[in-house]
Amino acid sequence: MSLKPIIDILEELLHLHVEFVDLSKTKTNVVKNGDVDTLSSIIARERKLSRKMEKVEKERQQYMATWFEANQPQKQEKTVTTLLSQVESENDKEQLIEITTELTRTMAQLKQQEQLNRMLIQQSLQFVHFSLDLMNPTIESMNYGTNKEKQVRSKQSLFDSKV
């Protein structure tokens, strides 16, 4: 079996990851601006892209399994690293190394960008909670005494008279 389908599917995975990184960068700007409607549409596009990525990944796994069955039927891990050690063609090996390196770099970039987005969203949520707490204070935060003073006051009756 030729390595062409594997190389093609890896290129498609790389393209999808690059698209995901671009979408993630757009999401960063949208979160900074606080545009909730645009954020919703970006999240919907991310879901679609994620489903497509899962489908392509399953195809990649099938191609890898088929290649290993045809060329190396022994029980071993069916990974790109193992594939690289089995490939004899220098051209194919070079293409695989280039694509997998670029894919790994893009995945790391995506992970970093998504961590930034998660931190920005957490900060936004903290700000919203803080703002809500300011607008709707609790009874305890409205009273100024210490806890002991509150307890003493609660023990006093409303009608305090001597008989």
In tens, the pLDDT along 110-130 reads: 999 999 999 998 988 888 888
Position with higher pLDDT, 133 vs 50:
50
Q: Give the pLDDT of residue 36.
A: 86
Q: Classify residue 128: in a domain, yes or no.
A: yes
> What is the span of the domain harbouring residue 18?
3-135
pLDDT digits (tens, 9 = 90+) for 72-87: 767 678 888 888 888 8
| Cα–Cα dist 50/117, whole Å | 17
Which of 21, 9, 25 is closest to 99 using CA atoms? 9
Average pLDDT over residues 156-161: 54
Total tally of structural domains belonging to the chain: 1
Q: Classify residue 33: in a domain, yes or no.
A: yes
Q: Classify residue 145: in a domain, yes or no.
A: no
Q: Classify residue 92: in a domain, yes or no.
A: yes
| Cα–Cα dist 78/75, whole Å | 9
| Cα–Cα dist 122/117, whole Å | 9
Average pLDDT over residues 29-39: 90
Q: Classify residue 156: in a domain, yes or no.
A: no
Q: Classify residue 148: in a domain, yes or no.
A: no
Average pLDDT over residues 135-152: 60
CATH at residue 113 = 1.20.58
pLDDT band at 154 (very low <50, low <70, confident <90, very high): low
Say if residue 157's pLDDT is above 60: no
Q: Classify residue 162: in a domain, yes or no.
A: no
Q: Classify residue 23: in a domain, yes or no.
A: yes
Q: Give the pLDDT of residue 3.
A: 86
Say if residue 106's pLDDT is above 80: yes
pLDDT band at 163 (very low <50, low <70, confident <90, very high): low
| Cβ(72)–Cβ(85) below 8 Å | no
How many helices (H) and strands (E) would you count in the chain?
Answer: 6, 0
Q: What percent of the chain has pLDDT over 70?
A: 82
Say if residue 136's pLDDT is above 90: no
Q: Give the pLDDT of residue 25.
A: 94
> Please, which residues have CB within 8 angstroms of residue 9's CB and are 6 or more apart in sequence?
56, 59, 60, 63
Position with higher pLDDT, 31 vs 149:
31
